[in-house]
Structure 1
C-alpha cells in the first residue's frame, strides 16, 4: 500500500481498518512504515508505504475489487499514471499463483524492480520467493536501491493502527 496525499499515515491506517472490516479478509501482519521517493512521475510528494499480509477466502479478482473499493472510499482519483494518490492497494502475491488477467497480473509486474515494494514485503516475509522464478525476493538487486527510509517501526497491527 502507498499514499502520498494529505495525511499519508491516516490513509494507510484507514485502508488496513477497511481490509479488517471485510468479512472475508483477515489482516495477519503489517510491515513498518517506509517513506519512499516517487517512481514514474517524480514531481510529486514522497510516499509512505507498507506491506500487509492477509488471509482471504476471496478469489484474486474479488480481492482486487475489494482493494479498489477501499481506494475509492479513501478518495483515490485515477487521473495521472503513477500520479499522486490517497491510497494505492496492489496485490503483490496471491499464494504462489501466477495470474494473468486483463486487469490483474500476479506476481505484480514490476515488484522485483522496486525497493519500495520489496523492503516492506521482505520485512514481514523474509523467505518469500518469486513464484515464477523461485528466487528469494530479499536477493533481488532492487533491495540495494536507495530511496527507501524507515519512517516508523511497527511491532504489531495494533501498534500500526494507533500510530500518529
Structure 2
C-alpha cells in the first residue's frame, strides 16, 4: 500500500529533527522508502503564536496496517521529544498520516485520509512536488491547491533531506 506522511518541526534544530525522523521511520521493517519532497519553511496555521515550521512529505510503500503506522509515527514524535500540552502548539516533531492506501477511517484517534490535509498548503505543496499525479480522496492534489493561500509555503533550496540510511 502507498502511504503519505507529512513531517513538521518548529522547535530545536528543525532540519536535523526532520532528517533524524526520516531515518528512524525506516529503521524497522514494513515501511519502504519511495521519495521525499523538498523542504519548505512555513508559517504556523492556527493555534498559539509560535515560530515557523520546516515541512516535508514522504511517500512510502507499506505492508503495515494503519494502526501500526500510527504507533510508529507517534513513537518517532516521542523519541524526538514531542510534548502534547497544547493543541496545535509548537513541537519538536509532527508526523501525520495523510493517507494509507485506500483506507478510510472515522475513528477519533485515526481519521484517514487526514481530515484537514485537503486545506493545508503546507502538506499539499510538498506532496505535489514529489508526486505530481497525487490524488487525495478522489481529487487531484493540484486541483485542491487551487484557491489555497500558498504564500506562506516557502521552498528552502539550502536544505535537502537525504534518503534514509
Q: TM-score, normalised on structure 2?
A: 0.88
1:145 paired residue among 138, 143, 150? 150
Q: Indicate yes or no: 2:28 matched with 1:22.
A: yes
Tell me: CA distance 1:71–1:143, structure 2 relative to 1, closer, same or farther (3 Å): same
Listed one character per residue, the Cα deviations across residues 13-58 of structure 1 (whole Å, up to 9, x for unaligned) are 0100111201121121110000000011251000000000111111
Larger CA deviation: 47-56 vs 99-108: 99-108
Aligned to 2:104: 98
**1:96-135 correspondence to structure 2 within 5 Å:** 96-131=102-137, 134-135=138-139
Whether contact under 8 Å (2:31, 2:62) holds in the other structure is yes
SS at match of 1:40: coil
Aligned to 2:3: none
Q: C-alpha root-mean-square deviation of aligned residues, in Å?
A: 1.9
Gap regions ≥5 residues in structure 1: none
SS at match of 1:28: strand
Larger helix proportion, structure 1 or 2?
Answer: 1
Aligned to 2:57: 51
Counterpart Cα distance in 2 of 1:108 and 1:12: 20
SS at match of 2:44: coil
Larger strand proportion, structure 1 or 2?
Answer: 2
Whether contact under 8 Å (1:5, 1:85) holds in the other structure is yes
Aligned to 1:38: 44
Measured after TM superposition, the shift of residue 98 of structure 1 is 1.6
After TM superposition, where is structure 1 displaced by more than 2 Å over at least 4 residues in a row?
141-145, 152-158
Tell me: CA distance 1:155–1:33, structure 2 relative to 1, closer, same or farther (3 Å): closer
1:136 paired residue among 137, 140, 143? 140
Gap regions ≥5 residues in structure 2: 1-6
SS at match of 1:52: strand
SS at match of 1:89: strand
Measured after TM superposition, the shift of residue 156 of structure 1 is 7.3
Whether contact under 8 Å (2:104, 2:112) holds in the other structure is yes
